[in-house]
Structure formats: C-alpha cells, structure tokens
Amino acid sequence: MIEMGDFEMIISTRGRYALRVMVELAQRTGDGYVPLKEIAEHQDISEKYLENVIKVLVQNGFLEGLRGKGGGYRLTREPKDYTLGGILRLAEGSLASVACTEDSAADCPRRNICPSRPVWQKLDQLINGYLDGITLADLLETDGEL
C-alpha cells in the first residue's frame, strides 16, 4: 500500500497473488509445467482462489497450461519480458490512483477546472513508470534492492 496523507493505493489480494505466482514460475523456468497444487502449497494460497488468478493469466497469454499427468503451468515468455506493471494491471484492471484518471472512467464534469487532477495524473505516471521498469528477471536478481 502506498500512503500519502488521505491517499491510499491498495493492490488487491488478486494482484499480489498474481505477482507471487509469476515470480514462482519465473524462479522455476526450465522446470517444465508446475502443477497448480504445488504452486498453491509453496505460496500458501488456496487452490480454488489460485485457479481464478491463473485463469486470467492464461487467458491473456502470460501463462500456458497443460492438463493431465505432467501438467501444470509455465510462463509463455522469458522473465525479462514481463513487467510488474503489466502483471498488476492485468490482475487489477487498473493502477489508477483515483477513479477519474482511469482509462475507462467517464469524463468527470470537473475535468477542466479540477486543480488536483494533474497531481493524480502525474502520480499515475510515476507509479506506472516505476512498475513498468521492473521485470520478473529483476526480482530474481535482486537482494531486496530495486
């Protein structure tokens, strides 16, 4: 959670879990398909909830799945080709700091006279730029410093 005075941006459980799954699969690149049950156990996430998170990742081409014996999930690209911003936007739908800056937001009637809107737009640019500048590969190489 990013906090600034009265402002809070909260990444949901879904977003955090999507990132955890992607990091685990990045760590296991080369291991083939990783079973859902194994991911759930390693990440301490219920299989039922994890199925919903993974479904979105598969539908959008971030992961591929294989059913049956030897099945599971794996990344469709190299870890360097996934950004945290891309993963979180996929899971969250948006990383907008306030509703009026979301791409899908209806035009705000105060758009042209709101003195704080440029602040939120700039904050969104900073957040998205920061998260788009970090890849799964970066997370694998870091020792807690980004």
Q: Quick one: pLDDT band at residue 103, thresholds 50, 70, 90?
A: low
Q: Quick one: pLDDT band at residue 101, thresholds 50, 70, 90?
A: confident
Please state, in angstroms and rounded to a whole number, the distance separating the CA atoms of residues 81 and 133: 11
As beta bridge partners, residue 7 has 4
Q: By the 8 A CB rule, do 136 and 80 touch?
A: yes
Mean pLDDT along residues 1-25: 77
- From the list 124, 61, 69, the residue with the least C-alpha distance to 97 is 124
* pLDDT at 102 > cutoff 60: yes
- From the list 23, 17, 4, 8, the residue with the least C-alpha distance to 52 is 17
Please state, in angstroms and rounded to a whole number, the distance separating the CA atoms of residues 138 and 115: 37
Residue found under tokens 């993963």: 87
Please state, in angstroms and rounded to a whole number, the distance separating the CA atoms of residues 34 and 142: 23
The answer for residues whose C-beta is within 8 angstroms of residue 73's C-beta and 6 or more apart is 21, 25, 33, 34, 36, 39, 54, 57, 58, 63, 64, 65, 66
Q: Which two tokens stand for residue 11?
A: 């990444």
Give residue 18's pLDDT.
Answer: 97
Name residue 7's amino acid. F
Q: Express each pLDDT in 66-99 by its tens digit.
A: 998 889 999 999 999 999 999 999 999 888 887 7
Report the predicted TM-score, pTM, of the whole model to 2 decimal places: 0.85
